[in-house]
Amino acid sequence: MTFEFWFPNPPVEESVIMSFETFVGCKLPDSYREFLALSNGGEKPKLENFTVLETGERTMLSTLYSLAPDGKGELFDEYLALRQEIPADLISIGHDIGGNKLCLAIQGSERGKLLFYDHELRSFNRKSTRKNFNVCANSFVDFLQGLN
């Protein structure tokens, strides 16, 4: 599953994805793993508009995070930066033009779904509740196919 960016990142090896999975403590959904192996994120996607399913809000995707060959990179950095802010069953995999996060459910009943995190709704202690997250797509593939 390749995806075009104006500023793409190089694909990563399976071992790099596995290293990140070990770090976060679970296997990533298959479609997202495939995306990292073939496209590995980038900036300014050529198809960028998406709709948040639960609210009908439209926004523009700015970046999908990548993994570096050493297993770190934007995806790793975002995971560390947001661990105290977002629920443990989510990882931030990108952001829109306003800095709102696109999160992937990696565990639980919503596993595989993409959620839009409006960071401006967080509380003063920077801890978010589930009300700050709205489903964008039921899978990573559905999300990519819904971009226009």
Quickly tell me which residue has 């999975």 as its tokens.
21
Whether pLDDT at 129 is above 90: no
pLDDT digits (tens, 9 = 90+) for 82-106: 988 888 899 999 999 999 999 999 9
- Three-state SS at 141: helix
CATH assignment of the domain containing 135? 3.40.1580.10
Q: At 22, which amino acid appears?
A: T
Chain centroid to CA 92: 4
**CA atoms of 114 and 73, how far apart (whole Å):** 20
Instruction: Kindly state the average pLDDT of the residues 58-75.
Output: 91
Nearest Cα to Cα of residue 26 among 100, 73, 91: 91
pLDDT digits (tens, 9 = 90+) for 31-53: 999 999 988 988 888 778 898 98
> By percentage, how much of the chain surpasses pLDDT 90?
57
In total, how many domains does the chain have?
Answer: 1
Structural domain including 55 reads 5-146
